[in-house]
Amino acid sequence: MFINTENKLIWKNGSFQKWDDTNVHILSHTLHYGTGVFEGVRAYDTLNGPAIFRLKEHTNRLFDAAKKINIEVPFELDEIIHAQCETLNKNQLNAGYIRPIIYLGNEGLGLRAKELSVNVAIAAWEWPSYMDPEAKKKGISIAKSSYIQYENPLHSGNKIIGTYFQNTMALHEAIDKGADEALMMDANGFISEGSGENIFIVKDFKLMTPTKDHCLNGITRQSVIQIAKDLNYDVIEKNLTFDDLISADEAFFTGTAVEITPISKVDDVKIGHDGAGEITKVLQNKFDEVISGKDLNYQSWLTYTK
């Protein structure tokens, strides 16, 4: 992913700095031990101007993650919400990806993370699509990973920096196998998620997805569940096995980066017909209406920045 950093600004601890001047000390505790949290947020160009999708929910999860690992954020939640809007506007973006991160300073090094400064930074940049745009139509291939997700229940449900090592290794393993993405199982052998996405399967016109105990309760996941229910589809949260997936009529990933991306193949097994399945297409189209502000029933999910 190439980021155009020309004239870009990053919000850090209450003020804006030039992109290349915003540095982290080499002895930052977070760099060495992974004690920090982050979020991934998307903004979309709508008829009413730039709008950030489910900004409050993302920011609440950021603060919840910090609390989970005993980091006291030195800003109020509303300040970080406003800062994300301001970062998008300062960088003159009508659409893009927003990355808030909370990390610890370099006042001391060692496992003891007490009395270290807490820093908050927010970057924003253009990011049209995480996957090849054709993937939304044709689907992607995934490979079952040998890496286990969420062996420690403490790590589930939030974006904690130090826990993403498994995800990176799983993705690299999948790419080395020739796949586009990874499928991670949990410690009990049930399906968890992709390396950075939630997963849904469709069987006999019913949608199924792992329970919150087995995966990150993604904001896009929650949105798709609500949209599907509003469209009168049955949505079942349950323990899913690998056999459930390979016998599915359709399967797709959801996430801030991938939005709704169909899965066409798992290892050597083809899923459904060529391209996105019938229900996947319906959800994709409705999701596009929601994020573009065209469906007024979901206006509360959009935060307009101007």
DSSP, collapsed to helix, strand or coil, labels residue 51 as strand
Q: Which helix (H) or strand (E) holds 58?
A: helix 55-68
DSSP, collapsed to helix, strand or coil, labels residue 210 as coil
* HEC profile of 155-206: HCCCCEHHHHHHHHHHHHHHHHCCCCEEEEEECCCCEEECCCCEEEEEECCE
Closest CA to 144 of 110, 83, 188, 194: 194
CA–CA distances in Å: residue 170 to residues 184, 185, 194: 7, 11, 9
Closest CA to 142 of 169, 165, 175, 166: 175
Length of the chain: 306
Q: Choose, from 159, 177, 206, 265, the residue flagged as catalytic.
A: 159
**Angle value at C-alpha 304, between 301 and 306, nearest 5 degrees:** 175
Q: Has 159 been annotated as catalytic?
A: yes
Residues annotated as part of the active site: 159
